[in-house]
Amino acid sequence: MADRVPIENTATLQSDAKVDVFYVHPTTLLGGAGWNQSLDDENTNQRTDYTTILGQASAFNACCRVYAPRYRQATLLSFFSPQGDGGEALKLAYRDVARAFRFYMDHHNNGRPFILAGHSQGGFHLDTLLGNEIAGTPLEKKLVVAYPVGYYIDDSNGIPICDSAEQTGCQATWNTLSLDARAGGARDSICVNPLNWSASGLQAGFDENLGAVSFRREQGTEGNYPSIEPGVVDAQCSDGALRISEIRSENYDGYFMTEGNYHIYDYSFFYMNIRENAVVRSKAYLAAE
């Protein structure tokens, strides 16, 4: 599914890419008896493939070879029990992610520069991975950029915060909300605006949105891919969250848990900007080698 692209003027260029992406998917285990997904749970695997791999990991196939491992993700309820079984489930999930990353480095990387990308639970695990495996190690010099999107994090993992579109060796993350929705994290959480790649709070208008893409599961299953919709949202970082004033499309009518929380669209609203930026940063890194 990471090979798929929107229909207008886009193509997967993985076969010629000189940079890799290691992508960690968000929570797609929504229920069940256990705290962690069994890797042979085909219903959850399909949900992962036709939603997050298709709608998020595919954004990186213009710059990079995409590696998107399965892991024993923690159930959504784990985040509401961080001191109990939920916390243990998240630790198990992270151990899988770390092992998958080490396997990728040992067997597939071959000294190539790489991008780390993820969302929600994936962003949570990447935050830990950046601190444990990347910051202060030789691998930090191979990091093009990290996108641990959709989780409220600070810079304690040791990786600098991105503040321009071409900066490398940095991290960019955001959590998308309406103007009046309550943020779920600290006011000093990292927010990098994916429309202008600034961490300064500089507002970006609708004209800077290169295109939202709504990959709905039924579209992916049938093979009919949606159009790119430029100018769907504007964006501005404020108090640790990415605020949007309006949604100019009927294709984004959902929210996550509470009205005005657009967590589920953290990638979709900014799909083409993310796609372009991964190319820009990859080229900047390669040019500086």
What does DSSP assign to residue 35? S
How many alpha carbons fall within 13 Å on the CB side of residue 108?
Answer: 16
Output the pLDDT for position 256.
73
Query: What average pLDDT does this structure show over 206-229?
Result: 73
pLDDT tens for 111-169 read 999 999 999 999 999 999 999 999 999 999 999 999 999 999 999 999 999 999 999 99
pLDDT tens for 9-48 read 555 566 688 999 999 999 999 877 789 999 999 999 999 9
Residue 70 in this model has a pLDDT that exceeds 50: yes
Please calculate the CA angle 60-162-276 and round it to the nearest 5 degrees.
30
Q: How many CB atoms lie within 10 A of CB 251?
A: 16
Distances 23 to 119, 169, 269, 284 between C-alpha atoms, Å: 9, 17, 19, 20
Pairing state between β 176-178 and 236-238 = unpaired
pLDDT tens for 82-114 read 788 889 999 999 999 999 999 999 999 999 999
Query: Computed from CA positions of residues 177, 182, 185, 186, in that sequence, does the dihedral angle turn out positive or negative?
Result: positive
Output the pLDDT for position 280.
98
How would CATH label the architecture of 14-288? 3-Layer(aba) Sandwich (3.40)
Residue 69 in this model has a pLDDT that exceeds 80: yes
Angle subtended by helix axes 85-104 and 121-129, to nearest 10: 60
Tell me the C-alpha distance between 110 and 120, whole Å.
Answer: 28
